[in-house]
Amino acid sequence: MNHRIYTRLPRTLAVAVPVVAILASAACSTTDTPVANASSTTSISATQQPPATGDSAIVTQNRLSADAAVKAAGAALAKCRADGLGFVTVSVVDRAGNVIAMMRGDNAAQHTVEASREKAYTSAAFGADTSDLSQRTKGEGSTIADLPGTLFLAGGVTVKAGSASIAGIGVGGAPDGMQDQTCAAAGRDAIASSLG
């Protein structure tokens, strides 16, 4: 058991309670601004949602639809198979790293599952392909490569709606990262026309 957590808890609460109280009082002091359906989440593949405005407590996010994610994963895996690389795994994740779709090729080793997911998350979170991001990991000392759950090897591509990153496609398992990258890019290309 980690006792350090319990010794820090009172300080955390001392900061959190006043912040919650301030936020609650600010929320109660708003005038009669109607709130839209708070339970609605929009999954899109082609539409841009307008940004939240004013004092709205609701944030609208663009998300890749499950159908588009499955199409992208299928196209990426098909490209790898055509190149003789049917033993890879393809993951499509949202910006938070939640898996939307995953396809594991025949004979894909277990490590390819995590590699593909981490490459997809890295590209989605940073809004750039992992082959480009890997250049930022050079140097001495701590780098972005030290962030947990990320993998800065070629094979992850970002999916954007306009200029905003909404998802990432990662491929893991090919002998060379650029082969993974080519397959992931084929997945992105398969849905590009529906992204607007």
Domains of the chain (ranges plus CATH)?
66-194 (3.30.450.150)
pLDDT tops 50 at residue 95:
yes
Q: Which of 54-68, 90-104, 177-191 has the lowest mean pLDDT?
A: 54-68
Q: Alpha carbon of 28 to those of 31, 33, 52, 57: distances in Å?
A: 8, 11, 19, 12
Cβ proximity of 65 and 73 under 8 Å = no
pLDDT recorded at residue 61: 87
Residue with the larger pLDDT of the pair 122 and 54: 122
Max CA separation in the chain (angstroms): 62
pLDDT tops 90 at residue 192:
yes
Given pLDDT bands bounded at 50, 70 and 90, which one contains residue 50?
low
What average pLDDT does this structure show over 108-123?
98
Cβ proximity of 80 and 105 under 8 Å = yes
Given pLDDT bands bounded at 50, 70 and 90, which one contains residue 35?
very low
Q: Report the alpha-carbon distance of residue 164 to residue 166 in Å, rounded.
A: 6
CA dihedral of residues 62, 65, 66, 69 (deg, nearest 10): -90
What average pLDDT does this structure show over 39-62?
61
pLDDT tops 70 at residue 49:
no
Distance of CA 93 to the CA centre of its chain: 5
Which amino acid does the sequence have at 34? P
| pLDDT, averaged across the chain | 80
Sheet with 164-172, edge to edge strand ranges: 99-104, 89-94, 164-172, 156-161
Is residue 91 within a helix (H) or strand (E), and if so which, with residue range?
strand 89-94
Helix (H, G, I), strand (E, B) or coil at 100: strand
Dihedral pair phi/psi, residue 21, rounded to 5°? -65, -40
Structure tokens at 153: 């090897």
Given pLDDT bands bounded at 50, 70 and 90, which one contains residue 53?
low
Q: Report the alpha-carbon distance of residue 123 to residue 27 in Å, rounded.
A: 35
Q: Report the alpha-carbon distance of residue 93 to residue 116 in Å, rounded.
A: 10
pLDDT recorded at residue 60: 87
